[in-house]
């Protein structure tokens, strides 16, 4: 998603990027055919220009189609200043991370992930596998030796795929061999890898509870795989939510996302022509809420905010810490069920927020379709999600996740990829208007995304 709106620069950038699709302000699109460079600009890949703002007149739209041989799609929105909303979101996110060395933070994330990968190999060693160089084992032998619990068979398969994809296992006629020498994933090597990961995380994120949590899980992997140790007490020791709350708050990509969603929602509220009705799903420990609600309070417009989760215990905690905002209500919403059967009216919200919850959906397409039904025409769906595999999650929280029945089923992946997400949003009939961080951002390669998509005023033809 681009922030560029100068027509000449847009043409140059389109040519350079070879993009197939672009979203632009109406004024930019209107000006494109008359650009001196337009006849010389070679855009063979460009299929579709989507635009927002005042719809183009027929004659203007025809000129664009003729000049660039593209499909032209108008993105309607209750808020026409989509650029303003996007910049507010991006600006808030940048301010949140000002002064932090993001390149070092990215390196720290990779080190952390690598420690998790080595821990998978180390767990196999504790079950007598891959102890000598050249040892080869089939997936069935690995499943048998680890005594993997039926609920974690899919996860074990995913480990093997990921280890192979990352070059740490090598497939050899049905059997797998470890590529590093056993000394590189011994107990001692692991201790060093985790200590290094903690150091990097502390230096960039300022706290390392995430790495400590992941390390504790990594030390229990053989028992987690077999089901002798449960993953719940490791995330909620003595039933307390403090550790989970810390995990959702301390990492830099999380902070970027929470600030972006707060900036975006406040910008929407300021532009909305009537009281804003917000539904938050999977609000949990409130990592997103605690940024969004004060930002909305600061705008000084009337807001009705419904804080929901599938788990009632989170709601009880939130009632206390949100008590000073009388316009925040609380309720239960299950993303795996239709809104009607849960007592929700169609088109009854202007904004639906989900911070890191949609990956828990059994079927993301169905969940997003249901959330879209809850939006009024012109309403906004705002989500934050990882779009790439997180190796440390594969050795910790993945033990808590059920297998999905959507695009992830084929690979066993924990998260939908960015193209899969785009497809889900498009299939729900939504118009994608914000995607952060931008492609050239240092954090972009980590794959954590903020998405915003608008329910059209009129369903598009064929949708
Ligand atoms: C990883 S946390 C997301 C972070 C959360 N926004 C926070 O700040 O704590 C996932 C949240 O989704 C909730 N959840 C899991 N399955 C759900 C479902 N089917 N419907 C609604 N919420 C669900 C969990 O209870 C948890 O609070």
Report the nearest-CA residue for atom 8 of ligand 1.
287
User: How many Å is the Cα radius of gyration of the chain?
Assistant: 24
Whether the per-residue pLDDT at 52 is higher than 80: the answer is no
- Phi and psi (nearest 5°) for 17? -80, -25
Question: What is the mean pLDDT of the segment spanning 406-420?
Answer: 94
- Residue 310, ligand 1, Cβ within 6 A: yes
Please answer whether residues 321 and 286 qualify as being in contact, where contact means their C-beta atoms are separated by less than 8 angstroms: yes
How far apart are the C-alpha atoms of 83 and 81, rounded to whole Å? 5
Which residues are bridge partners to 278 per DSSP?
Answer: 305, 351
Pocket flag, ligand 1, residue 281 (CB < 6 Å): yes
Say what percent of the chain tops pLDDT 90: 83
Do 337 and 423 sit in the same domain of this protein? yes
**336 CA distance to ligand 1 centroid (A)?**
12
Contacts of 183 (CB under 8 A, 6+ apart): 189
Q: Do 266 and 387 belong to one domain? A: yes
Supply the residue whose CA is at minimum distance from atom 20 of ligand 1.
334
Mutation test residue for ligand 1: of 360, 366, 386, the one with most atoms within 8 Å of CB: 360
Q: What is the DSSP letter of 375?
A: E
Does one domain contain both 160 and 286?
Answer: no
Residue finishing a domain among 249, 264, 294: 249
CA of 254 to the centre of ligand 1 (A): 14
In degrees and rounded to multiples of 5, residue 338 shows phi and psi of -65, 145
Q: In the 8-state DSSP scheme, what is residue 174?
A: T
Please give the distance, rounded to the nearest whole angstrom, from the Cα atom of residue 417 to the centre of ligand 1. 20
Do 229 and 273 fall into the same domain?
Answer: no
Domain that includes residue 24, residue range = 7-75
Q: What is the mean pLDDT of the chain?
A: 93
Do residues 272 and 78 lie in contact, with contact meaning Cβ atoms separated by under 8 Å?
yes
Residues 197 and 331 placed together within one structural domain of the fold: no
Mutate to test the pocket of ligand 1, among 244, 246, 255, 309 (most ligand atoms within 8 A of CB): 309
> Same structural domain for residues 339 and 418?
yes
The pLDDT of residue 461 is above 90: no
Protein residue whose Cα sits closest to atom 14 of ligand 1: 282
Question: How many angstroms separate the first and last alpha carbons of the chain?
Answer: 23
What CATH number should be reported for the domain holding residue 52? Answer: 3.40.50.980
Q: Specify the ligand 1 atom closest to the Cα of 244.
A: 9
Q: In what order do the strands lie in the sheet with 448-454?
A: 328-332, 303-309, 276-281, 349-355, 375-386, 448-454, 431-436
- Alpha-carbon distance of 25 to 380, in angstroms, equals 18
**460 within some domain:** no
Residues 398 and 291 in one domain: yes
Q: Does the beta carbon of 360 sit less than 6 angstroms from any atom of ligand 1?
A: yes
For residue 267, tell me if it sits in a domain: yes
Asked if 224 and 357 sit in the same domain, the reply is no
Q: Please, how many CA atoms are within 13 Å of residue 445, restricted to the half-sphere of its CB?
A: 8
**C-beta 285 within 6 A of ligand 1:** yes
- Asked if 420 and 288 sit in the same domain, the reply is yes
Domain assignment present for 2: no
For residue 462, what pLDDT is reported?
37
E strands, 321-394, are 328-332, 349-355, 375-386
CA of 309 to the centre of ligand 1 (A): 6
Give Cα separations from 134 to 42, 121, 141, 170, 176 (angstroms): 53, 14, 15, 10, 9
Closest by Cα among 180, 206, 210 to 194: 210
Q: Is residue 109 part of a domain?
A: yes
With a cut of 80, say whether residue 457 has pLDDT above it.
no
Going by alpha carbons, the residue nearest to atom 12 of ligand 1 is 282
**271 and 84 Cβ atoms separated by less than 8 Å:** yes
**Nearest Cα residue to atom 27 of ligand 1:** 284
Mean pLDDT of 185-211: 93
Predicted pLDDT at 463:
37
Q: Which of 284, 315, 331, 335 to mutate to test the pocket of ligand 1 (most atoms within 8 A of CB)?
A: 284
For ligand 1, is residue 10 a contact (CB within 6 Å)? no
Distance, in Å, from the CA atom of 92 to the CA atom of 129, rounded to the nearest integer, reads: 49
- Would strands 303-309 and 276-281 be described as parallel, antiparallel, or unpaired? parallel
What spacing in Å lies between the alpha carbon of 400 and ligand 1's midpoint? 12
| Nearest-angstrom CA–CA distance, 38 and 258 | 40
**Which residue has its alpha carbon closest to ligand 1 atom 22?**
282
pLDDT band at 4 (very low <50, low <70, confident <90, very high): low
- Whole-number Å distance, alpha carbon 282 to ligand 1 midpoint, is 4
CATH code of the domain in which 308 resides: 3.40.50.150
Q: What is the mean pLDDT of residues 137-153?
A: 97
311 lines ligand 1 (CB under 6 A): yes
Cα 332 to averaged position of ligand 1 atoms, centre (Å):
11
The arithmetic mean of pLDDT across residues 122-149, rounded, is 96
Peptide bond connecting 37 to the previous residue in cis, omega within 30 degrees of 0: no
Whether 110 and 95 share a structural domain: no
Domain membership of residue 437 (yes or no) is yes
Whether the CB-CB separation of 433 and 452 falls below 8 Å is answered with: yes
Reported as a pLDDT band with limits 50, 70 and 90, residue 273 is confident
CA of 284 to the centre of ligand 1 (A): 5
Per-residue buried b or exposed e for 32-47, using 16+ beta carbons within 10 Å of the residue's own CB: bbebeebeebebeebe
Region 159-166: mean pLDDT is: 96
Q: Is 461 domain-assigned?
A: no
Beta carbon of 336 within 6 Å of any ligand 1 atom = yes
In the predicted structure, residue 75 carries a pLDDT above the cut 90 = no
> Which among 257, 288, 252 is positioned nearest to 109, based on CA atoms?
252
- Three-state SS sequence of 328-348: EEEEECCCCCCCHHHCCCCCC
Same domain, 206 and 270: no
Give the H/E segment covering residue 8: helix 7-17
Cβ contacts of 270 within 8 Å, gap of 6 or more: 299, 301
pTM, entire model: 0.84
Note whether residue 65 is domain-resident.
Answer: yes
pLDDT 10s digits, 78-133: 677 899 999 999 999 999 999 999 999 999 999 999 999 999 999 999 999 999 98
The reply to whether ligand 1 has any atom less than 6 angstroms from the CB of 334 is yes
233 domain-assigned: yes
Q: Do 410 and 270 fall within a single domain?
A: yes
* Count of domains observed in the chain: 3
């Amino acid at each position: 998603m681009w922030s560029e709106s100068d027509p000449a620069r847009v043409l140059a950038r389109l040519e350079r990027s070879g993009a197939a699709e672009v979203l632009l302000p109406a004024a930019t699109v209107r000006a494109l055919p008359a650009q001196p460079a337009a006849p010389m600009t070679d855009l063979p890949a460009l299929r579709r220009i989507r635009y927002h703002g005042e719809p183009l007149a027929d004659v203007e739209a025809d000129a664009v189609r003729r000049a660039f041989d593209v499909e032209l799609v108008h993105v309607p929105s209750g808020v026409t200043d989509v650029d303003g909303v996007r910049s507010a979101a991006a600006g808030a996110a940048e301010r949140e991370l000002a002064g932090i060395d993001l390149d070092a933070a990215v390196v720290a994330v990779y080190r952390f992930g690598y420690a998790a990968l080595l821990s998978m190999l180390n767990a196999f060693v504790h079950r007598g596998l891959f102890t000598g160089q050249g040892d080869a084992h089939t997936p069935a032998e690995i499943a048998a030796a680890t005594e993997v619990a039926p609920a974690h068979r899919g996860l074990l398969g995913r480990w093997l795929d990921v280890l192979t994809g990352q070059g740490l296992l090598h497939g050899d006629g049905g059997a797998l061999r470890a590529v590093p020498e056993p000394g590189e994933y011994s107990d001692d090597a692991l201790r060093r890898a985790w200590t290094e990961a903690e150091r990097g995380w502390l230096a960039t994120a300022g706290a390392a509870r995430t790495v400590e949590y992941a390390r504790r899980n990594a030390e229990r992997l053989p028992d987690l795989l077999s089901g002798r140790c449960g993953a719940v007490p490791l995330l909620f020791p003595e039933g307390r939510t403090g550790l989970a709350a810390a995990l959702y708050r301390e990492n830099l990509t999380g902070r970027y996302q929470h600030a972006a969603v707060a900036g975006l929602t406040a910008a929407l509220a300021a532009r909305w022509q009537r009281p804003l009705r917000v539904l938050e799903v999977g609000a949990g420990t409130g990592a997103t809420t605690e940024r969004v609600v004060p930002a909305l309070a600061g705008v000084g417009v009337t807001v009705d905010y419904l804080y929901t989760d599938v788990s009632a215990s989170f709601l009880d905690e939130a009632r206390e810490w949100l008590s000073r905002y009388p316009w925040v209500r609380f309720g239960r919403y299950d993303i795996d069920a239709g809104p009607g059967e849960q007592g929700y009216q169609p088109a009854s919200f202007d904004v639906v927020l989900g911070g890191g919850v949609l990956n828990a959906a059994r079927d993301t397409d169905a969940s997003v379709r249901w959330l879209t039904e809850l939006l009024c025409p012109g309403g906004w769906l705002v989500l934050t999600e990882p779009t790439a595999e997180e190796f440390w999650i594969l050795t910790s929280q993945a033990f808590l996740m059920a297998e999905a029945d959507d695009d992830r089923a084929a690979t066993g992946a924990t998260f939908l990829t960015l193209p899969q997400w785009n497809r889900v949003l498009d299939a729900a009939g939504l118009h994608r208007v914000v995607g952060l961080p931008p492609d050239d951002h240092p954090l972009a390669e980590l794959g954590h995304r903020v998405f915003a998509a608008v329910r059209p005023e009129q369903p598009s033809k064929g949708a």
